[in-house]
Structure 1
Amino acid sequence: LAGSLELRGGEAMLADPGACRDLAGSLAEGLRAHLAEVRRRMPGAEVVLQLDEPSLTAVLLGRVRSASGYRTYRAVDRQVVEATLRDVLAAAGEDGTTLVHSCAPEVPFALLRRAGADGIAFDFSLLTEREEEAIGEAVEGGTQLFLGVVPSTDAASEGLSDPGGSVMGVRTLWSRLGLNPGTLAESVAITPSCGLAGASPAYARAALAHSARAARSLADNPE
Structure 2
Amino acid sequence: MTGVSGHGPWPGAEHDELEAQQTVLGDLAELPAGVDAVPFLTQLASRGPGADAVGRTAALLAELPVELGPHGWRLTAHAGLDQRRAEGFLREDLGALAIAAHGYSGPLAVEVVGPWTLAATLWAARGDRVLADVGARRDLSLALAEGVRAHLAAVRAQVPALGDVVVQLAEPRLGAVHAGVLPTFSGYSRLRAVPGPDVVEGLRPVIEAVHDAGARAVVHLGDTWAGLPPVVLAGADAVGLDVGAIGWQERAWELVARAVERGIGLWAGLPPVQVSQCAGPMLGELVRLVDEPWRRVGLPASSLDGVTLLAAPRGAPAGVDAHRAELANLGRVGEALAERAAA
TM-score, normalised relative to structure 1: 0.89
1:70-93 alpha-carbon deviations (Å, 9 max, x no partner)? 111001122111011011111113
1:147-169 alpha-carbon deviations (Å, 9 max, x no partner)? 11233xxxx65377022331113
Structure 1 stretch displaced more, 158-167 or 202-211: 158-167
Corresponding position of 1:133: 254
Alignment identity in percent?
37
Selected match of 2:292 from 160, 169, 172: 172
Matching residue's letter, 1:70: Y
1:71 maps to 2:211: no
Matching residue's letter, 2:123: E
CA contact (8 A) 2:244 2:289 kept: no
Give 1:142-181 correspondences, 5 Å limit. Answer: 142-151=263-272, 158=275, 161-181=281-301
Cα distance change on mapping 1:118 and 1:204 into 2, 3 Å:
same
Distance 2:207 2:120 in 1: 18
Structure 1 stretch displaced more, 122-131 or 19-28: 122-131
Q: Please state how far the C-alpha of 1:221 moved relative to its aligned partner.
A: 3.1
| Unpaired runs of at least 5, structure 1 | none
Give 1:184-199 correspondences, 5 Å limit. Answer: 184-185=304-305, 187-194=306-313, 198-199=317-318
Q: Please state how far the C-alpha of 1:43 moved relative to its aligned partner.
A: 2.4
Distance 1:189 1:39 in 2: 23
1:87 maps to 2:205: yes
1:126-166 alpha-carbon deviations (Å, 9 max, x no partner)? 33222121111111111111111233xxxx65377022331
Matching residue's letter, 2:211: G
Q: Please state how far the C-alpha of 1:44 moved relative to its aligned partner.
A: 3.5
Structure 1 stretch displaced more, 126-135 or 22-31: 126-135
Q: Please state how far the C-alpha of 1:195 moved relative to its aligned partner.
A: 5.5
Distance 1:205 1:21 in 2: 39
CA contact (8 A) 2:244 2:271 kept: no
Corresponding position of 1:212: 331
Question: Runs (4+) of structure 1 moved beyond 3 Å?
Answer: none
Query: Which structure has greater helix proportion?
Result: 1
Cα distance change on mapping 1:175 and 1:100 into 2, 3 Å:
same
Distance 1:196 1:190 in 2: 19
| Unpaired runs of at least 5, structure 2 | 1-117
SS at match of 2:270: strand
Selected match of 1:56 from 157, 174, 185: 174
Distance 1:29 1:218 in 2: 37
Cα distance change on mapping 1:148 and 1:163 into 2, 3 Å:
same
Greater RCO (Cα-Cα under 8 Å, separation 6 or more): 2
- The structure with more radius of gyration: 2
SS at match of 1:171: helix
SS at match of 2:295: helix
Give 1:5-20 correspondences, 5 Å limit. Answer: 5-20=122-137
Cα distance change on mapping 1:99 and 1:27 into 2, 3 Å:
same
Distance 1:157 1:177 in 2: 26
Matching residue's letter, 1:211: L
Distance 2:270 2:284 in 1: 11
Structure 1 stretch displaced more, 47-56 or 187-196: 187-196
Distance 1:107 1:44 in 2: 38
Cα distance change on mapping 1:18 and 1:107 into 2, 3 Å:
same
Distance 1:91 1:191 in 2: 24
Distance 1:28 1:168 in 2: 37
SS at match of 1:190: strand
